[in-house]
């Protein structure tokens, strides 16, 4: 029997992970569309441009560097991130990482930045509220508090950039690229380690 402090999640299969990601994305999209319809919320603009691509990639780079630094210097975050990534990414194939980027990146940005920010007033308070809720979404139990805290900080960065640019495509690009790259780096690191063992 596991000790309460040594809580471990049961491993999931590739199909279970993909189904959970798909269902979660659909639920988030339904919530976003219902909120938009019921609340008569005008979604944040999607303006695709070279400038938006550069902003999105730069933001993804900033988030990835921040995550790497926090991972290196904060043991609680490292343990939380490893547990989460082991659970979610280990069963996935390399090509599945595309879904890891796209499904949460599109659905979560539509809800948290595209609908929630305008619905709450498109101001700094809206960014803070949506960031806190975004962090809560990433909390898979009390052991994941540091991961959820970092997700809240990332949510703030994504929301603030959406606020100052009025362009949803920038946080979408950043979110998709960050998720894809973190999955890719985790797979490369653990694939290399398994070959060294």
Average pLDDT per block of 10 residues along the chain, 197 residues long: 50 92 96 96 95 98 96 92 87 94 96 97 97 91 86 97 97 97 91 64
Give the pLDDT score at 195.
Answer: 55
What's the confidence (pLDDT) of residue 197? 52
| pTM for the full predicted model | 0.89
Task: Please give the pLDDT value at position 27.
Answer: 97
Q: Which residues constitute the domain of residue 66?
A: 47-196
Report how far apart, in Å, the C-alpha atoms of 63 and of each of 91, 134, 139, 154, 158 are.
24, 15, 18, 7, 9
Residue 192: its pLDDT value, please? 73
Question: Does residue 67 belong to any structural domain of this protein?
Answer: yes
| Domain assignment present for 94 | yes
- Say if 137 falls within a structural domain: yes
Residue 25 forms part of a structural domain? no
Cβ-contact 77, 182 below 8 angstroms: no
Would residue 111 count as lying in a domain? yes
Q: Residue 63 domain-assigned?
A: yes
Q: Give the total number of structural domains in the chain.
A: 1
145-177: burial string, b at 16+ Cβ within 10 Å, e else: ebbbbbbbbbbbbbbbbbbebebbbbbbbbbbb
What pLDDT does 6 receive?
46
Predicted pLDDT of residue 21: 94
The pLDDT assigned to 4 comes to 46
Classify residue 35: in a domain, yes or no.
no
């Amino acid at each position: 029997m596991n000790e309460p402090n040594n809580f471990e999640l049961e491993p999931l299969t590739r199909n279970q992970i993909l189904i959970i990601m798909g269902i979660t994305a659909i639920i988030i999209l339904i919530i976003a569309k219902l909120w938009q319809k019921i609340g008569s919320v005008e979604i944040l603009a999607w303006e695709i441009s070279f400038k938006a691509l550069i902003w999105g990639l730069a933001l993804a780079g900033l988030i990835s560097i921040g995550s790497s630094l926090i991972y290196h210097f904060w043991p609680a975050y490292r343990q939380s991130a490893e547990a989460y990534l082991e659970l979610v990414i280990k069963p996935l194939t390399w090509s599945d990482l595309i879904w890891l980027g796209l499904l949460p990146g599109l659905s979560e940005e539509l809800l948290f930045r595209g609908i929630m920010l305008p619905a709450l007033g498109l101001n700094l308070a809206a960014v803070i509220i949506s960031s806190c809720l975004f962090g809560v979404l990433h909390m898979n139990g009390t052991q994941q508090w540091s991961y959820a805290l970092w997700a809240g900080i990332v949510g703030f960065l994504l929301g603030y950039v959406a606020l100052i640019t009025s362009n949803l495509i920038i946080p979408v690009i950043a979110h998709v690229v960050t998720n894809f790259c973190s999955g890719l780096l985790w797979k490369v690191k653990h694939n290399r380690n398994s070959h060294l063992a």
